[in-house]
């Protein structure tokens, strides 16, 4: 039976093959709820997204830059503070969300009409993410393990002693960084240095950006920057000032982002050729996501506008 072997540093955890699919299905179900009925959940969603994003970012920054500071208290404190801020500043969250939607839509239109291409950039971002995972010793592989036991230390780079528990540190460095990962490591529990993380992640990004810059004209860059800056400011203002308009649109976008992973996974399983076509045609895939987002927002505008109208009519009848 296939199992996912998830390695984080020196910890090796095995999970059943269906674990990832169940997680995607659960997240996708939450996405459907937000896509269709998410307007009353704007404040909780703003708080949860701020909490999760801030906690993860804080953990990465503290682990990379402050080796002597314990990570978990910083993560918990940042999560609580940002959750409160997200709840109180939900209009600002809507503004940033609407600005992001407007920028993505504007960039898609420019790419479709002016011949601008982001061809090297997605691959560069993927390679940078691989470098970040390698620096932190995070690896996910699929093995054929009939026992399906989470504690089975069946990994190519695991320690030879099969009786070593998950809490015991391995004698050498884990090799999580591959052949290059033994430079500058002083111990198994030492977090990666900020300089190493910066250099390894920035190299593919710089290479991809340089390649994109060489293939792009000055007029295309000026058009992209000016239009995206203008629509970002417009989205920020509209999102803050008109929450009844921006709320359903932003929350529907969040729901669609939750559904995307499950939809792609299901498409890859049932229709591999369609999946490859969708991934290859990036602009059309983005256009489809924006169209589904607009559909969900339209449904919410219609439903909740009708409810508000019914409530106002009942108040008039009582008075």
Lowest average pLDDT, out of 82-86, 130-134, 170-174, 283-287, goes to 170-174
Most confident of 88-92, 130-134, 202-206, 207-211: 88-92
- Give the domain ranges of the chain: 91-117+217-310
Q: Which residue has the tokens 């937000």?
A: 34
- For 68-80, the pLDDT digits (tens) are 888 889 999 999 9
How far is the C-alpha of 84 from the C-alpha of 103, rounded, in Å?
27
Q: What is the per-residue pLDDT for 48?
A: 93
Say which residue, 56 or 199, is predicted with more confidence. 56
Residue 194 pLDDT grade (very low, low, confident, very high; cuts 50, 70, 90): low
Q: Is the pLDDT of residue 106 over 80?
A: yes
For 8, phi then psi, to 5°, come to -125, 105
For 147, phi then psi, to 5°, come to -75, -25
Q: What is the per-residue pLDDT for 78?
A: 93
pTM of the entire predicted model: 0.70
Percent pLDDT > 90 in the chain is 31
């Amino acid at each position: 039976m296939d199992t996912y072997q998830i390695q984080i540093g020196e910890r090796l955890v095995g999970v059943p093959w269906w674990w990832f699919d169940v997680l995607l299905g659960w997240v996708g179900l939450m996405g459907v709820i937000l896509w269709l009925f998410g307007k009353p959940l704007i404040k909780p969603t703003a708080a949860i997204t701020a909490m999760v994003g801030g906690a993860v970012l804080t953990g990465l920054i503290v682990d990379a830059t402050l080796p002597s500071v314990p990570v978990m208290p910083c993560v918990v404190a940042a999560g609580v503070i940002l959750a409160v801020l997200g709840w109180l500043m939900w209009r600002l969250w809507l503004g940033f969300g609407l600005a992001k939607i407007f920028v993505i839509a504007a960039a898609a239109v420019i790419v479709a009409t002016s011949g601008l291409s982001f061809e090297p950039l997605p691959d560069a971002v993927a390679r940078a993410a691989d470098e970040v995972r390698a620096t932190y010793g995070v690896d996910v592989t699929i093995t054929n393990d009939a026992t399906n036991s989470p504690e089975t230390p069946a990994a190519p780079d695991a320690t030879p002693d099969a009786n070593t528990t998950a809490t015991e540190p391995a004698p050498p460095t884990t090799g999580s960084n591959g052949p290059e990962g033994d430079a500058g490591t002083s111990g198994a529990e030492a977090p990666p240095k900020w300089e190493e993380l910066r250099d390894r992640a920035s190299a593919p990004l710089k290479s991809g950006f340089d390649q994109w810059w060489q293939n792009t004209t000055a007029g295309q860059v000026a058009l992209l920057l000016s239009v995206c800056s203008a629509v970002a400011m417009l989205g920020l203002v509209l999102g803050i000032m008109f929450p009844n308009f921006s709320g359903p649109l932003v929350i529907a976008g969040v729901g669609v982002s939750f559904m995307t992973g499950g939809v792609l996974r299901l498409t890859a399983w049932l229709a591999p050729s369609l999946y490859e076509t969708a991934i290859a045609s990036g602009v059309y895939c983005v256009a489809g996501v924006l169209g589904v987002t607009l559909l969900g927002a339209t449904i919410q505008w219609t439903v909740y506008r009708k409810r508000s109208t019914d409530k106002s009519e009942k108040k008039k009848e009582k008075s």
